Amino acid sequence: MPGQHWARNFVITNDDLEYLTGLLLERETPLSSDDLARALIENRVQQEIDELEARYKGVLPYTPDGSFPVGTKLIFPAMDFEVATVISTRPGNGNIQYGDFNVIAVAFENDKLNKQPSREFASDLKTPHALSRHDDEGEEASFLPTDIPSAEEILTTHRAEILQELDTKLKASPELVRLTGKWFPRALLVETHIGHINLAEAVLDLADGVPLSTEEILDQIGGLENASQELQVFSLNYALNNDSRFDEVGPSGEILWSLTRLEPKDVVHVPPMLSYAEIDYDPALLDLSLRALELEICDELSDIPDIPMDDPMDEVGVTLIYPHRRMGTFPLNARTRPVFPTARSTPRVWVTMVDNEDGEEFPCWIVRNARFVYGLAPYYRKHRLPIGAYVNIFREDDDPGKVAISYDGHRPRTEWIRLITSQNNQIAFENHRRAIGAEYDDLMVLGADDLAMVDGFFQTAQQQKKPLSSILKTIIPALGRLTPQGTAHAKTIYSAVNIVRRCPPGPIFATLIANPDFQTVGDHYWKLTSD
């Protein structure tokens, strides 16, 4: 079957690259790897069909009762459709059984069958024979396959290997450039000089940090020569992509440009409060209940694969911990990652968060490598959300670049919560009454009146490079003083540890189990052994 033998072991040849380059030059339109793969496969399948048609053109099916002069091309269905040419003919040795007949000598095209100069077959046979087909005598054969697969069918079966091989060879070609998933001949790029680039920078400067599309930039700088709009867009994208002043921040399917120097500092460089210095631990120490607790917390730094959504419009939520509440960020964890727009390879993506309560929009940045969304400090302040509050998100159905955000609000009521305080220059906690208008996790809620003091605890822990076990020996008794039993729940410990050191629950739980200084009293409550 055409296409199947080379599709399984797909290799791009120089002829293939020449064909694809010519295609791009002819169309003068950037094409994706998928488009080029489809065009290449269609071309290969058509070449094979053409070769088969040329091979069988004028070919007659061999039958013993046929008459075939020298030079006739024959196909032998009984010999796996091999093709041969009649090179001589002679009378056969007549006998009573067969009567008079002729013998033709043929030379096969197949080298394996052509080990001898020729092979002989009967012709002009008058007596009945199983291979005789009087109705087909003299008719041209048509042996093209009837089940030739389409390019789309071949791509469906072998897409991964074909695209991998194609991208590898296209990247190595000095004649082609790739941008935003599309390829184009370097020679056809519209000239983009330094004046165009400087004008683009000025346009983005005036946008005051709001990313703009390539089309918007082109409109304001007066375009590039008289080329088509698509070619101008591709050429300017290529120029901006190769200039460090510009950052492409659009989600997949959309290109947006911003100036790197105008992007928030905490977007370009992960703030220390959100940076995790990985702690090596044995996950096997966690029993099933602690693993379930780790999944319930669903910290973005935990090794949890993305959780598929039944409906992309479904609402998913997180519980705010101190670092995110303090820095105005939202975690990209296993549940929330699928909600946000994806990107091709850009480290930062512009997204608009929409307050589900009143529609107010907040410009934000997705920082995928660091697993957070930056820019929600105004939203958190607006609704006075406490540490430990439940915050929910869901996708806006009419705009992939927008994500709605909400919280479980109610009329503010005075409640007892843990307040972060200081005792002998060490972190401490006290129960205080505060008016709260949002639902929260009782085990993770915290209050902070003096942010400078709390920031000081974090900075001290960083400077002193305190190990996790040392931090736990300070945190657990400080929390234990709030209860008659002198114990603290694992979720509360996790929430409190993250005041002074960014850490997912796994290493915390493993340290509690492995270190004899800590003792469990059941139901995930812990205390110091010496207490």
**The domain that contains 505 carries what CATH number?**
2.40.330.10
* Token reading at 451: 């942010």
Separation of alpha carbons 297 and 487, rounded Å: 20
Helix (H) or strand (E) holding 395: strand 390-395
Q: What is the C-alpha separation between 2 and 53, in angstroms, rounded?
A: 12
In three-state secondary structure terms, 250 is coil
Boundary (domain end) residue, out of 239, 263, 287: 263
Residue 40 lies in a domain: yes
Radius of gyration of the chain (CA): 37
Same domain, 64 and 51: no
Domain of 239, CATH number, reads: 1.10.10.10
Domain of 30, in residue numbers: 4-55+147-174
Whether residues 469 and 342 share a domain: the answer is yes
Domain for residue 49, yes or no? yes
Angle, alpha carbons 292-481-390 (nearest 5°):
40
Q: Report the distance separating Cα 39 and Cα 20, nearest Å.
A: 8
Residues 215 and 131 in one domain: no
- In sequence order, the 6+-apart residues with CB closer than 8 A to the CB of 113 are 79, 82, 84, 119
In a domain, 182, yes or no: no
**Boundary of a domain, candidates 225, 242, 263:** 263
Interatomic CA distance for residues 192 and 29, integer angstroms: 17
376 and 483 in a single domain? The answer is: yes
Cα-based distances in Å from 431 to 168, 426, 434, 480: 62, 17, 10, 12
Same domain, 228 and 102: no
CB atoms within 10 A of CB 397: 10
Task: Evaluate whether 322 touches 387 at the Cβ level (below 8 Å).
Answer: yes
Which helix (H) or strand (E) element contains residue 200? helix 194-206
Domain-located, residue 183: no
CATH number for the domain spanning 69: value is 2.30.30
* pLDDT attached to residue 275: 95
Distance of alpha carbon 386 from alpha carbon 316, whole angstroms: 19
Distance between CA atoms of residues 472 and 485, nearest Å:
17
Query: What pLDDT score was predicted for residue 138?
Result: 46
Do 393 and 330 form a contact (C-beta atoms < 8 A)? yes
Whole-number pLDDT of residue 147: 60
Residue spans of beta strands (DSSP E) within 204-285: 212-213, 246-248, 256-259
My answer on whether 325 and 442 are in the same domain is: yes
Per the domain annotation, does 249 fall within a domain?
A: yes
Local structure of 178: helix, strand or coil? strand
Report the pLDDT value the prediction gives residue 227, as an integer from 0 to 100: 81
Write out the H or E segment, with its range, that includes residue 16.
helix 14-27
Shared domain for 434 and 396, answered yes or no, is yes
Looking at residue 137, its pLDDT comes to: 45
**Total domains, the chain:** 4
Same domain, 102 and 156: no
- Does residue 519 fall inside a structural domain? yes
Is residue 181 domain-resident? no
Looking at the fold, whether 45 and 73 belong to one and the same domain comes out as: no
Longest dimension (CA), the chain: 124
Q: Indicate whether 283 and 391 sit together in one domain.
A: yes
- For residue 303, being part of any structural domain is answered with yes
Q: Could you tell me if 433 and 502 lie in one domain?
A: yes
Same domain, 324 and 237: no
Q: What is the dihedral angle through the alpha carbons of 206, 212, 217, 219, rounded to the nearest 10 degrees?
A: -100
Tens-level pLDDT at each residue, the chain (531 residues): 454 556 667 788 888 899 998 998 888 888 888 999 999 988 888 888 888 777 778 888 888 888 999 989 888 877 777 888 999 999 887 666 777 888 999 988 876 555 667 788 888 888 776 666 544 444 444 555 556 777 788 888 888 888 888 888 999 888 889 887 788 888 888 889 999 999 999 999 999 889 999 999 999 999 988 888 888 999 999 999 999 999 999 887 788 999 999 999 999 999 999 999 999 999 999 999 999 999 999 999 999 988 877 766 678 999 999 999 999 999 999 999 989 887 667 889 999 999 999 999 999 999 999 999 999 999 999 999 999 999 999 987 677 789 999 999 999 999 999 999 999 889 999 999 999 999 999 999 999 999 999 999 999 999 998 899 999 999 999 999 999 999 999 999 999 999 999 999 999 999 999 999 999 999 999 999 865
